[in-house]
Amino acid sequence: MGWWRQNGRWKYGAFLSTVSAVFVLSCCGKSSDSPLGPSITIGAPTILRPSPGTTLTGGQITLVVGNANVTDGAAPTYTFQVATDSAFTNILAQADTVAQGEKGQTSWKLPIPLGNLRYFWRARARVDNTEGPFSFVADFDGLVPRDDQRRIY
């Protein structure tokens, strides 16, 4: 079974896309008979904070997603990525094994301070060797207050 859908729009010079995907891998009759183990479906997490187009000031921030739906009820780990471009060719920070949070949300504190840049971020869930789809890409602007900026000579 496979299904894919992508919607998108341009905002602040970047293409923000919403991706939905469902993939099921099985063989050998019942999914529990598969040599790869039972089939599993992992949905994309949802971007909660910061929301697209937000301007953030000051030091470090925390990224928050709504937890992904997982068909077998397993608690996934999450990958968070932050980049300076929407294609994620210049990734500034990444975490690959963030434990699923409580109350339907998972968060990760960005380990680098913000600069005067536009940032792009996304997340996805993983159970064992099965990765779900990435969330849609969200952007936010970093703004360092003038008093915090340092002159470089």
Residue ranges covered by each domain of the chain: 42-148
Q: What pLDDT, on the 0 to 100 scale, is given for residue 23?
A: 47
Residue 52: alpha-carbon gap to chain centroid? 13
Q: Which residue has the tokens 């949300």?
A: 105
Q: What pairs with residue 95 in β-bridges?
A: 80
Q: What pLDDT, on the 0 to 100 scale, is given for residue 144?
A: 82
Q: What pLDDT, on the 0 to 100 scale, is given for residue 18?
A: 55
Q: Give SS3 for 107.
A: strand
Q: What pLDDT, on the 0 to 100 scale, is given for residue 110?
A: 94
The values of phi and psi at residue 146, to 5°, are -55, -35
Q: What pLDDT, on the 0 to 100 scale, is given for residue 98?
A: 98
Q: What pLDDT, on the 0 to 100 scale, is given for residue 10?
A: 54
Q: What pLDDT, on the 0 to 100 scale, is given for residue 35?
A: 59
Q: Of 11, 93, 104, give the one whose Cα is nearest residue 65.
A: 104
Q: What pLDDT, on the 0 to 100 scale, is given for residue 8?
A: 61
Query: What CATH topology corresponds to 42-148?
Result: Immunoglobulin-like (2.60.40)
Which residues in the chain show pLDDT less than 70?
1-38, 147-153
Q: What pLDDT, on the 0 to 100 scale, is given for residue 26?
A: 43
